[in-house]
Amino acid sequence: MTFRILAMVLAAPLLAGGLAGPVKLLDKNGKPRATLKDVIAILEPVSAPKPILGKRPLLRVRTVGKRFVPRVAWTTPGSFVTFPNQDSIVHNVFSVCCTVPFDTGQYEPGDTPAPIRLKKPGLVKLYCNVHHKMNAFLWVLETPYAQVLDGKAGLAFDGLPEGTYRLKLWHPETGERIFPVTIGPSNVRGEWTLSANLPPFEPHKNKFGKDYPPSKDEGSY
């Protein structure tokens, strides 16, 4: 082993254990939902070493069947997102608050607007100016430890440096819950519960700050 490689190995943070366990998403009546769709788990280092963040690959949030797919996604500051239109109708993606206001303008089926650079960390709420009930949520994160839990399993992180972290669990209908976590030399198991007590759809204005006009097909979402 050359001196240079040895120095790199010694400089690398000590990889310790992982964090894993089930997450429950309870409805208002207390019953667990069948899936964890749209739950995101974010692990933010507190005393643990802060990893170097790289740019992530271009994130594609598609418009399909008058929905954003995926509805919850994440990336890092400086990375790009775009919105391929895979529907047979026009869309107009926009965000007015808070980290990155933008407006793709109306665009046709098959088109993909120019990628948008996400400069600042935070939660970007995505809407469509044509379809009131289209919404999606894009987390811009200063940690690489994040996963969207789209299924029945809980969360599972591994290769985590030792130290303390803040585990943030979020869903559009629960908001954010934060749990302190300590990662040591072995794997840590946990169990976490979220309760959906927010409305499934948050009313909002269009990109002009006005109410959406009544739509003939509102009931078809």
- Which lies closer to Cu ion via its Cβ, residue 63 or residue 143? 63
In angstroms, rounded to a whole number, what is the distance separating the alpha carbons of residues 118 and 72?
A: 15
Of 95-103, 122-130, 139-147, 195-203, which part binds Cu ion (CB under 5 A)? 122-130
* DSSP E strand boundaries for 129-212: 135-140, 146-149, 155-157, 163-171, 175-183, 188-189, 192-195
Backbone angles phi, psi at 177, to 5 degrees: -125, 140
For residues 18 and 158, is the Cβ–Cβ distance under 8 A?
A: yes
**Residue whose CB is less far from Cu ion, 19 or 134:** 134
Residue 91 in contact with Cu ion, rule: CB under 5 A: yes
- Does 207 contact Cu ion by CB under 5 A? no
By CB under 5 A, tell whether 128 contacts Cu ion: yes
71 in contact with Cu ion (CB under 5 A): no
User: Nearest distance from residue 105's CB to Cu ion, in Å?
Assistant: 12
Q: Identify which range of 14-22, 32-40, 129-137, 143-151 contacts Cu ion by CB under 5 A.
A: 129-137
> Closer to Cu ion at the Cβ: 128 or 169?
128
Query: Binding segment for Cu ion among 125-133, 159-167, 174-182, 204-212 (CB under 5 A)?
Result: 125-133
Instruction: Look at residue 179 and give its three-state secondary structure.
Output: strand
Question: What is d(CA 59, CA 116) in angstroms, rounded to the nearest whole number?
Answer: 10
Single-letter amino acid, residue 140: V
User: CB 131 → Cu ion: shortest distance, Å?
Assistant: 4
How many residues of this chain bind Cu ion (CB under 5 A)? 5
> What residues does 167 pair with on adjacent strands?
43, 179
Residue 131 sits in the site that holds Cu ion (CB under 5 A): yes
Burial class (CB in 10 A: 0-12, 13-18, 19+), 53: middle
Tokens linked to 171? 């869903």
Nearer of residues 134 and 169 to Cu ion, judged by Cβ: 134
Mark the segment that binds Cu ion (CB under 5 A) among 18-26, 91-99, 116-124, 150-158.
91-99
Catalog residues that contact Cu ion under the rule CB under 5 A. 91, 128, 130-131, 134
